[in-house]
Amino acid sequence: MIAAAHALLESGPEALWGPESDAFVDEVSCRHPAGETYRARTVEAMARCSIADDTSRGQFASDIYRHFIWTHFAAKLVMAATPAAAFGAVLQHVKLDELLRASDAIGPAILSGFHYTGYPLIALSVAMSPAAPLITKARVDVLERSDSASRLNDRVVYLSDRSAPLRLTRALKQGQSIWAMPDVVLPSVRTVQVQFLGCEMEVVAGLGRIAQLSRRPALPLFWVVESGVAALHPGPPILPEESEQEFIQTLVTGQADFVAHHPTHWLEWYSLLTDAPLVRAEVKQGNETMWSSITAALQ
């Protein structure tokens, strides 16, 4: 696995979309302690909302798992090891034209999508673009623990921080957009229950309230990574006149429609399960176990 990580890094950021990345993903996939759980619970979640048929869900889950490993390990490893080069490479692969035009048209907004394939690369490209939003994160991960010179600490807000809503609202009022992905929640974060593909799901609460206080809309974001290219497609702005519940439900409904058409690009299917916090904790622990080995490649 360390050899595969070194091969990926030695080949440069462009290798993220090549055979070196595939080899690294293969190594991590077979070693991840929660891999079997991730795939099995993904199948279970897809069945709950009748996505695909019984014979297709297993292959879908395998594809999603590979996207998960590529996103959480290949992309983050390259970003942590060679941040400046990674940013340059990402700009060649992430198309922001539609987002920037929409941002110019509506001004500061809550840029909000779900955890789709490659989301750290997308967040990096958006953070370093003219849109330059504050980035919300659920928890510290390998990027923050690295000695990267391009860390965006002054642009990151952790949702577990009690001051997070105030910072986000203030940023919007002062003319800066924020980036938020509400489909991953932590025990310390307030949640709201919504409908997603016919199932109940807990998502991060507060975005509706922030929109109301700042009087700024949400701009839904959608993307897939295919053949090494991701184009951000914004949906219609969601205005803050509705109640918080209605605002978040409208945001989630749009994401659900997208997921229904691109099921292999959403990495958080187990969020639909009643024991989602336990599954998420097992996956997170597995991630930590893998990173304890992989970070040797960063030395």
Per-residue model confidence as pLDDT tens for the chain (299 residues)? 888 998 999 988 999 998 999 999 999 999 999 999 999 999 999 999 999 998 899 999 999 999 999 999 999 999 888 888 888 888 889 999 999 999 999 999 999 999 999 999 999 899 889 999 988 876 666 555 554 434 555 678 877 777 888 999 999 999 999 999 999 887 777 899 999 999 999 998 889 999 999 999 999 999 999 888 999 999 999 999 778 899 999 999 999 999 999 999 999 999 999 999 999 999 999 999 999 888 876 66
Q: What are the φ and ψ backbone dihedral angles of 147, each rounded to 5 degrees?
A: -95, 25
Number of domains in the chain: 1
What range defines the domain where residue 56 resides? Answer: 2-298
Q: What is residue 220's DSSP assignment?
A: E
Q: Is 65 helix (H, G, I), strand (E, B) or coil?
A: helix
Q: pLDDT tens digit string along 143-184?
A: 555 544 345 556 788 777 778 889 999 999 999 999 999 998
Reported as half-sphere exposure (CB side, CA atoms, 13 A), residue 111 has a value of 31
| Residue appearing with tokens 């009022």 | 173
Q: What does pTM read for this prediction?
A: 0.92
Burial class (CB in 10 A: 0-12, 13-18, 19+), 3: exposed
Report DSSP state, residue 133.
P
Nearest alpha-carbon partner for 237 in 252, 219, 223: 219
Element (H, E) at 230: strand 229-231
CA atoms of 228 and 118, how far apart (whole Å) = 10
Residue of 11, 35, 37 whose CA lies nearest to 23 = 11
Give per-residue pLDDT as tens, 258-286.
999 999 999 999 999 999 999 999 999 99
Chain-centre distance for alpha carbon 238 = 20
Nearest residue to 4 via CA among 66, 77, 63: 77
- Which residue type is seen at 187? P
